[in-house]
Structure formats: structure tokens, C-alpha cells
Amino acid sequence: MSLFEQLLNLKQSPKVVVKDCNNDYSGRQLLEKVGKIQNVLLHLGVKNGDKIPVIVEPSIDAIALVYAIGFLGAVYVPISPKSPKKRINFIIKDLSAKLVLTNQNYLLIDNNINMFTIKDLLSMTIKDKTPTVMSRRQNDTAYIIYTSGSTGNPKGVEVSFDNLESFIHSFNICFPSSQNSTYLLNTALQFDVSISELYGWISQGAVLQLLSAEQLKDLKNLPLYVKKYHITHLCAAPSTLQVMDNSRLDLLDESSLSFLLIAGEEFPVSLAKRLKKLVKSGKVYNCYGPTEATVYALYHKVTMKDILQGKIPIGRPFPNATIKLLPQKRKNFELLIGGYGVSKGYLNLKRKNSYSFVELDGERFYKTGDLVKYDQDMNNIIFVGRKDFQLEINSIRVEPSEIEGVINQVDKVIDSLVVMNKGILTCIYTTFKHSIVDSNSIKLKISEKLPKYMIPKRWYRVSEFPLTINGKIDRKTLLKTFSNPINNSDTEDKLISKIEQICDISNLSENDNIFDLGIDSLMTVEIEIMLEKHYHSKIPTGFLYEHPTVEKIKRYFKDESKLKFNNIEQILKKITERYVIDKDKLIIYSNDKNVENKLQKHLYNLSLFKEIKINDISIFNNENNCETVVDGGKINEDRNYESSIFQKVYTTIKLPSFTVVRFSIQDDLVGSKTKTLITRLIYTTEAFRTKIIKTTDGNYISTVYTDLNIRSNIEDITYLSKEKQVNYINKKIGKYENQILSKLTRNYLYKILSFRTSSQNIELVIICHHNICDGASEQLLNKKIGQLLNNQSVTDLKMKDYLETIKMNSAIESILNDPVIKEIGKMKNQIGNEKLTWSEKRLVGVEKLNNFQKMMMVANYVTKEYLKESGHQFMTFQMLFNFRKVNNKDFSTLINDCHETLTFFRRKSDTDIQFVNNLFYRLNDFHYNRGISTGYAIYNNFPAFNNEQLQIQKILEEAPINIDYIGEVETKNLDSKAKAIINLRKQLKDLKHQIRFTAFSSKNEMFIYRISGEQTWQY
């Protein structure tokens, strides 16, 4: 009886077969879901042999989907939801897939393909819900797992139903189970070890335990879950267990564990020693097998003798496997695997198949490329290393040439070498002469194609690669050069030093985001365990994600470790002999001119004081002006440009729209940090050196200046209460907004204000007119300020280059001939006046979404609500977006007004996942990839319009809805943002043409406001 027939036999069983954190599911309940999904897929045209990309996180519905695909005889292709879009699209194209299935509501893949969520499938009405194992040949493909490929793209390994059946049969012989056994689905579905977990429990009537998404992330508590859920069969990578302290590993000894299967990478003896009790009990196994041989091909029960001999064998073949050893150098052998587990080969790669799969003595074998030898007793196989340069990263086999191929495509990079250096994925690269490419920009670019685990964590730029006599890269010399241990002995901060040692990095600052440095989930667990020991305190799950910088970590523990006054006095004695402490006031008496700088070094310890004086004079005595004054300078002709169409329009109509950026600068007693920051910010932000000049012929020229005279001031408002400080600053903001608006030409269109709110903290306020700052610029400014404070390099892109790029691609003729534009032209007249019953909405569950997903979420909600209330079958709408990727040119750090308007449509019959992906595809294809700006096409002759411009304007701008997601807002700024929305409503209260919606997110919430239009859908 086949595996799927055994599963089908559970359709009337009341016995619990699957559990998650909240519910138990009987065989009957599981098979009801399987039957429903199977029959819906049949209705959608899925048949035997169809390759189905499945992009899901584990859940009861997700595994029901996997089994339903198996019942159909179709091909299950798991893909991680976290994979880059380009990687997902390559796989979809490689599969010639007809549809994509997911449980991610806002999965965006930039591919014009049918998509359905599992929720969509389960909600469809269908008569027949009976599960059926449909006919298939045993050599038909059961699943495809994509692994790293040497060509720069992943390669799909085709595994047949025969392979799957044979493996599970052998697996159950080697690791038997019963009705009292429980398997844990612990492996990400895109990795083949998950196959043993998904199917291993079925034959013996065991139970499959699922974990929640939060629990799957909580690696350090895996032993706790093993004990809690009575797990008997556990698969785990050595690197997962290595980072756990002994107290956590000891929980495995107290659990119901019968089989601990270690796989994915070499099993270190040091880990086996820590698992000694389980080893003595005969419960620990070392399992070996490439995806091409169907999960596991060899296995070995670990013994105390192995530990004493200092090497853990990979053992002997599975019952369904055979092996051959081909002699190599140094008495090693290349391991070849044969038997019923050898897969069909690689999808669409005939040449690769002919090399990797060979026939010897009438039997088909897979050449693993792994070097092995026999142990002393000649009984077991021992893994020695690789024949080639293939790497293993967190149990995943990776071709370094795939990573190198993607890196070498980055502009100005000549060549690269990716190696594993002391367990850290490292890239050494060369660039063209006089071209310096920052590693952060390379990482950002390659993250579009490579999953996170394939992005190197350490980067070294060299002028050239050393070569061998044969002209090849001399790897040994390179590795020797970059293998010297990092010396942290000079680091004063022990916490920083410990994190540097775990991550194998140097020069970590307190404000660096640790996750930007490329740490993986295992390092995250190791850091969290270290923090518990460092502070002698337990920390909550996900602590590091909430506190990703050393500064935030310290602030969290500050209440426990705050210094007492007697400790502060010890510090003061080093600065001066005379001082007075009066509650929260400190007075220092000294003739030392450097006393302020000495104080600056100890600000963290002096944070208890609200007021600090030197010789009875407040150190803030001269701070009475908040404005940064910028004047003088000369024109930089190279950067001047004809003002953008939006700048012309906004200047003409005197648009009262501003962006206000607030940034708190800590530990700046003297004010020098703030003043230096402001100067650097102005000189690295072209918009802050730009004035709009109206020429005699009525045109507008954006004129950029250099060699400016900058005088920064800080106003002391420490004497005010917190509430009064807020009110005071808000009044100042209103004053300077009016000042900017009163003269939008021949003046700078921003103001930088600085307020001292406490002895050490300065509130920086930047007010920008919409002419030089759109919604995305707010986040860009915050990021740039953080980079400048950490002395990181920043870019200063030219608005001139950006405008020239969008002009090249925005011919009015091509827009009028676009099929989607024509479709919108047909739809627009069929929409009438409808009742709108709400003006504000608050949605939850957005914290894990990126900006694009949040933007699509808002568009999905507003358009669906419109169609629901209007009763219409379709609608058109407009949506503002950040247009900083133009025809493959990247302007992502440009601070200016770079927004654009997308016009699209929705049909009532569209599911959510179909709509958001159609919208996302349109955004990428029409605007980002083709570089088309409809705004430029319509308004480039403003205030005049030709007939074609009027025609396209009529088609696009008469959409009844306009949506603007402006980004993430910090919690502390929610009140001010809400007030800004109210002001915007007042400004647009007479707007009848469209109903406009503005939305922003804050942590886990999305706020959507109607800011214009009456209580009807005016059109």
C-alpha cells in the first residue's frame, strides 16, 4: 500500500494525527481539508505532473495542501516566503508553472501568474470534497527541491514517488515509530529534511506536531518544546544545537526523545560530548544525504567510542541505498550513492545530469563530490571534506560560484571569491581602479537575487587577487591573509566585544543595527544567551529583534544598572576637585578650559542631572536661538536642473504641504555633535543646498549651491516641562512653515531647528517643503542622520540625473498605446456616486510586512470597501508611490520629491492575493522596469497642455479614489501625525474631484484616513 493510500485510510479515523499549539486534528478532520483542497485544485485545472510552487509557512492548512498535491499526482515545489522575488520568479519560470499557492496574504512576487491563498481554496464552493489518490506512475515526480547552482541560479532536484516511498520505508526501518510516537515539523519546508518529518509519521500511525511561527524562530527554546510536546523523533542541524547552553540541552535528557537525528553538516565531537547522556542511551544518530539521493542515504548510531576517537562517522547506507568509493588523493575516496533513493536528476539541466549522475556496472549513481574514508575498523564511512569548493551553510549545501556570479554583476565589481573562513561566509572582491564599492551597497543589490543565508557576512576589498603559477586565484594565500583572529582586547566596552566575537566582526558601534551586519538566526540565539549571562537576567523571546543595537540593549537594562550618586562622585573627582550636588543639579567649579569636554566623556553616568553648571553659569547659558542659518556660497552649475513638473506646480499654487523630521541626539552636552551633524547633513543632501529660481520667461530652475556659510544654533528649553516643550516646538514648527511658504522661490525650502530638551539630549527638527521632500524622504533623512552620527559614508545623488532618466522613457504615445491604459479608459465612465460610510480605519497585523506589502494592504482594503459599498463590478483608482527605481537605475537614497502616481483598476471578482499581485506587477513592469512617469508625460509643458496630454489626463486623473501610504511613523510622533492629517483635511475640504486616503503604519497597526471628499463617492 502506497504512502498516500495509507494516509487516505485515515479519512474516517477519530484518532489525533496532527497537533499545533492550539488544536488537535483527527485523521477525519485532516482528510476533510485535504479532500476540499484537492477537489478545488482539480476544478482549477491542476492535473497529474503539474508543477505547483507552494510558498507557505508551516500550518495545518499548509500540510493539508502538500498532501492534496500528492493525492493529485502533481508536483509539490516548496519555496520559502522569505526568498528574494527574483529567485522566486526564476523558479516559477523554470517550472513553467500555471499557478502559485501560498498562505501569505501579501506575498508579492512581481510575476503575472495566477495566485491563490489556501484560504481562497478552502472558501470556494464545491460539491465533491472526497479525497482520492489519483493514478500516477511511480517514476512521476513527487516533489522538486531547489538547491544552490553553480551557474548563478538555483537548480531543481526532481524526486519521484518511487524515491519518496523507498526513502520513507527505509526511514521507518532505521528509526521505527508507533502510535505513541510524535514527530516534530522542525525544518523549513524548502529543505528536504522536512520530507522525513511530513511523511515519516504516516505508516506507523504516529502524530505530527506543528510549532507556531514564533516558536520556530525561538531556536534557543527548542529543547523546551521537545519536552513539552512529548517529541520522540527530532531532526536538527548541529549548528542549531551548538549555540544552546547546557541547561537547555539537558532538557532533551528529560524529554520523551527516542531518536535525535543530526544532519545537514558535519557532526562535531564537541556537541556529541554535550549530548553524552543521549549518546549513552543510543538515541543520537548522525544522518548524511544530499537532496539528490532523497534526504538521507547513510546513517550511524553515535557511540561513546566515536567520542573517544574524536570523529563521528556518517556510517553505513540506508536499506534502500548502495555506495561506491572512487579513489582520490591522500587515500581518500569520492562517495557515490546508488539505490532506490537516487533522484531523477536536475530539472532542465541535461548537461549537469550527465556529469552528476553516472552508470557503473549497470547501476545509476549520484556523484556527491564529498570525500570520505573508512574508520579504523573499516566498518563505517567518515566524512573528510569536499572535492570541489561547495560550502555548507546552516545545513544547506551552497555553490560559492552562484554567489560569486551574482556579486560580479554588481556595477564596478570585477571579480569575487566566496569562501568559508572560520565558519563565517566571507567575500573577497576586487573593483575597477579608483572605484570604491561599499560592501553594504553590494549586499543590498545581491539581496534581490540571493536568500539571506547566501549573503556573505564578512567583506574584504583587495586591489587584485594573488595568482598561482597556473594563473588561478591563490586561495591558500588569500585565506592565510584574512584568517588572522580579530583582536578585541582594546575594546573598552565588554558587551560590544562579546557581540563582535560571536558575529566575528570588528568596529561595532552602539548604534549599529546588528541585523544589518548579516547575522543569522543561530547567532541571534547565541547573542541572546550571552546577554542573559552578561546581565544575569532572563530576556523575553525575540528580545534582539526589539533591541537590535547595543544602545537599545543597554537602555533596556539601565534601570537595573543605574549608578548611584556615590559612584558618580568617583567620576567627578577625576574631572575636578570642587563640585556641588543638589538633588538633580550639578555645579562644577574649575578654571580648566577643557572641563566641558571631560564631562562629555561621562555623560552616560551623569544622566541623572537635569541641570549642569560650571562656575555657577549654566553650560547652556548662550543657547537662545534654534535656527540653523545658511547663506553665502556659489552656484554649482554641474548640478543645476530645470525644476521638476511637481516643483513647478507646487510653487505656482503655493502648496501648503510639509514633511517634519524629528531626531533625538543623545549625549551632546557641548552641542558639538549636533552642529557637526547639521553641517555634514547639508553638504551631503543636495535638496538642502537648492533654491528654485523663477526666470524672466516664467520657467523655474532649481539652482544648487556649494561653499556655504552654515551657522547652527541650539535653543535651551530645559526649563520647560515635557508637555510645554512639545507645545513650544510645535509653535516654532508652525512659524517656520509659514515663513517657508511665504517665499517658495529664491529661498531654501527647509529649516533645521535644534532644541536642548535635557542636559544631554537635543531634539533636531527638520521642516521641508514638499518641493524637496516627499513621504519617503522622511525615512531616508532619519537613516542618513543615523549614518552620519555613526561616521558612515553616505551618498549625495543628483536630482538632475534622476529627472533626465524619467524623461527618456515617458513618451506620451507609448502611454496612450499601453493595453492597461486603454482598459482603464473603457472602465472610467461606468462608475457613479456612491455612499461612503467611514472616514477612519485602524487595521492590525502589519508589523511583519515591508513597505510594499503595507502599501498593497492599504490599496486592497480601500478598493475592496469601495466595491462592497458601491455594488459596482469594477473601479479605477490612483495610488502614490516612491519612484526611486527607474529603468534599473537606483536612486533609493535621493532626498527630494520623487513620488509618482500609479493608475490601475480592480474587479470585484479579484481575490485579495490576485489583486495585490496584479497591482504590484503593474507597478514594477510599467513604472520601475520601463521607467515611465505619467506625471512627466502629462505636465512637462505646464501650465500648457496639448491634446494628447489632455487625453491621458482625462483617462488617468478622473479615477474616484486616490491612495497614499506615507510610511512608518514612530509611536512618539503619532499625535503630531494625526494633527497633520486634520490640517490636510482642512486644506482639501473643498476638493470634490476625488476622495483621497492617507495611510501610515506604526508598529503593528495601520491607520487609514479619508482626507477629502464629501460623504459620497464623488465622481
Written as one letter, the residue type at 432 is F
C-alpha 1 chain-centroid distance: 44
- For residue 1010, which of 822, 838, 888, 806 has the smallest C-alpha distance? 838
- Both 691 and 783 in one domain: the answer is yes
Q: Could you tell me the CA-to-CA distances from 239 to 194, 244, 310, 754 in Å, in that order?
A: 17, 9, 18, 49
Q: Which residues, 6 or more positions from 792, have their beta carbon under 8 angstroms from its beta carbon?
A: none
User: Residue 913, SS3?
Assistant: helix
Q: What is the largest CA-CA distance in the chain?
A: 96
Say if pTM beats, i.e. exceeds, 0.85.
no
Task: Classify the phi-psi angles of 110: left when phi > 0, otherwise alpha if psi is within -120 to 50, otherwise beta.
Answer: left
pLDDT confidence of residue 566: 47
C-alpha 484 chain-centroid distance: 31
From the CB of residue 375, how many other CB atoms can be counted at a distance below 10 Å?
Answer: 16
User: Residue 437, SS3?
Assistant: coil
Instruction: Inform me whether the pLDDT recorded for 491 exceeds 70.
Output: no
Give the pLDDT band of residue 516 (cuts 50, 70, 90).
low
pLDDT tens by residue, 211-259 = 998 899 888 899 999 999 999 999 998 888 887 888 999 999 999 999 9
From the CB of residue 402, how many other CB atoms can be counted at a distance below 10 Å?
Answer: 22
Q: What is the Cα–Cα distance from 799 to 583, expressed in whole angstroms?
A: 53
Our separate counts of H helices and E strands in the chain read 37, 48
Give the pLDDT band of residue 605 (cuts 50, 70, 90).
low
Give the pLDDT band of residue 266 (cuts 50, 70, 90).
confident
Q: Could you tell me the CA-to-CA distances from 266 to 257, 304, 396, 673, 724 in Å, in that order?
A: 22, 17, 11, 50, 62
Give the pLDDT band of residue 619 (cuts 50, 70, 90).
low
* Final residue of a structural domain among 760, 791, 822: 791
Q: Which residues, 6 or more positions from 535, have their beta carbon under 8 angstroms from its beta carbon?
A: 557, 560, 561
pLDDT confidence of residue 1016: 40
pLDDT tens by residue, 127-146 = 888 999 999 999 999 999 99
**What average pLDDT does this structure show over 94-99?**
95
Q: Could you tell me the CA-to-CA distances from 793 to 441, 684, 729, 796 in Å, in that order?
A: 11, 10, 31, 10
**What average pLDDT does this structure show over 369-380?**
87
Dihedral (C-alpha) 184, 190, 192, 194: value to the nearest 10 degrees? 10
Sheet of 298-301: strand order equals 24-26, 16-19, 207-209, 182-184, 233-236, 259-262, 284-288, 298-301, 316-317
Domain contains 229? no
What is the number of residues in the chain? 1019
- For residue 931, which of 815, 840, 850, 774 has the smallest C-alpha distance? 815
Q: What is the Cα–Cα distance from 428 to 482, expressed in whole angstroms?
A: 9
| pLDDT above 70 coverage of the chain, percent | 91
Q: Which DSSP category does 684 fall into?
A: T
Pairing of strands 182-184, 207-209: parallel
Instruction: Inform me whether the pLDDT recorded for 515 exceeds 90.
Output: no
- Both 448 and 509 in one domain: the answer is no
CATH number of the domain enclosing 552? 1.10.1200.10
Instruction: Inform me whether the pLDDT recorded for 33 exceeds 80.
Output: yes
- Both 454 and 525 in one domain: the answer is no
pLDDT confidence of residue 541: 64
Residue 304, CB-side half-sphere exposure with 13 Å CA sphere: 5
* Average pLDDT value for the chain: 88
pLDDT confidence of residue 490: 38
- Both 409 and 453 in one domain: the answer is yes
Asked whether the beta carbons of 462 and 428 are under 8 A apart, the reply is yes
CATH number of the domain enclosing 406? 3.30.300.30
Domain contains 676? yes
Asked whether the beta carbons of 73 and 326 are under 8 A apart, the reply is no
CA 357, 362, 366 angle in degrees (round to 5)? 20
Domain contains 420? yes
Instruction: Inform me whether the pLDDT recorded for 711 exceeds 70.
Output: yes
Domain contains 959? yes
For every residue of 239-273, DSSP letters joined together read HHHHTS-HHHHHHHHTS--SEEEE-SS---HHHHH
Q: Which of 7-11, 496-500, 605-609, 863-867 has the lowest mean pLDDT?
A: 605-609
Domain contains 686? yes
Domain contains 993? yes
- Both 688 and 778 in one domain: the answer is yes
- Both 457 and 403 in one domain: the answer is yes
b vs e for 758-793, b when ≥16 Cβ sit within 10 Å of the residue's Cβ? bbbbbbbbbbbbbbbbbbbbbbbbbebbebbbeeee
Helices (H), 384-470: 400-407, 439-446
C-alpha 208 chain-centroid distance: 30
pLDDT confidence of residue 492: 42
- For residue 343, which of 293, 295, 296 has the smallest C-alpha distance? 293
Q: Which of 200-204, 631-635, 880-884, 1014-1018 has the lowest mean pLDDT?
A: 1014-1018
Asked whether the beta carbons of 687 and 767 are under 8 A apart, the reply is no
Q: What is the Cα–Cα distance from 27 to 32, expressed in whole angstroms?
A: 9
Pairing of strands 715-716, 750-756: parallel
Instruction: Tell me how far apart the terminal alpha carbons of the chain are, to the nearest angstrom.
Output: 64
Domain that holds residue 686: 658-791
CATH number of the domain enclosing 694? 3.30.559.10
pLDDT confidence of residue 608: 60
Number of domains in the chain: 4
The set of cell numbers assigned to 795 is 551618498
Q: With helix as H, strand as E and coil as C, how does 796-864 read?
A: CCCHHHHHHHHHHCCCHHHHHCCHHHHHHHHHHHHCCCCECCCCEEEEECCCCCCHHHHHHHHHHHHHH
pLDDT confidence of residue 828: 58
Backbone CA torsion sign across 484, 490, 494, 497? negative
* Final residue of a structural domain among 739, 765, 791: 791
- For residue 272, which of 297, 295, 305, 299 has the smallest C-alpha distance? 305
Q: Which residues, 6 or more positions from 180, have their beta carbon under 8 angstroms from its beta carbon?
A: 206, 232
pLDDT confidence of residue 433: 73
Give the pLDDT band of residue 564 (cuts 50, 70, 90).
very low
- For residue 917, which of 205, 105, 281 has the smallest C-alpha distance? 105
How big is the chain by its Cα radius of gyration, in Å?
A: 32
**What average pLDDT does this structure show over 755-778?**
91
Domain contains 541? yes
The set of cell numbers assigned to 425 is 561566509
Query: Which residue has 485544485 as its cell numbers?
Result: 41
Asked whether the beta carbons of 816 and 946 are under 8 A apart, the reply is no
b vs e for 543-573, b when ≥16 Cβ sit within 10 Å of the residue's Cβ? bbeebbbbbebbebbeeeeeeeeeebeeebe
Asked whether the beta carbons of 587 and 613 are under 8 A apart, the reply is yes
Q: What is the Cα–Cα distance from 300 to 302, expressed in whole angstroms?
A: 6
Burial class (CB in 10 A: 0-12, 13-18, 19+), 723: exposed
- Both 719 and 759 in one domain: the answer is yes
pLDDT confidence of residue 634: 94
Q: Which residues, 6 or more positions from 851, have their beta carbon under 8 angstroms from its beta carbon?
A: 882, 965, 967, 968
- Both 452 and 545 in one domain: the answer is no
- Both 728 and 680 in one domain: the answer is yes
- Both 786 and 677 in one domain: the answer is yes
pLDDT confidence of residue 1015: 42
Domain contains 276? no
* Final residue of a structural domain among 505, 538, 560: 560
Q: What is the Cα–Cα distance from 425 to 453, expressed in whole angstroms?
A: 9
**What average pLDDT does this structure show over 800-811?**
93
- Both 958 and 992 in one domain: the answer is yes
pLDDT tens by residue, 565-586 = 445 777 777 777 777 777 667 7
pLDDT confidence of residue 489: 39
Higher-pLDDT residue of 649, 6:
6
- Both 439 and 548 in one domain: the answer is no
For every residue of 621-672, DSSP letters joined together read TT-B--BPEEE--EE-GGG-EEPPHHHHHHHHHT---EEEEEEEEPS-SSSH
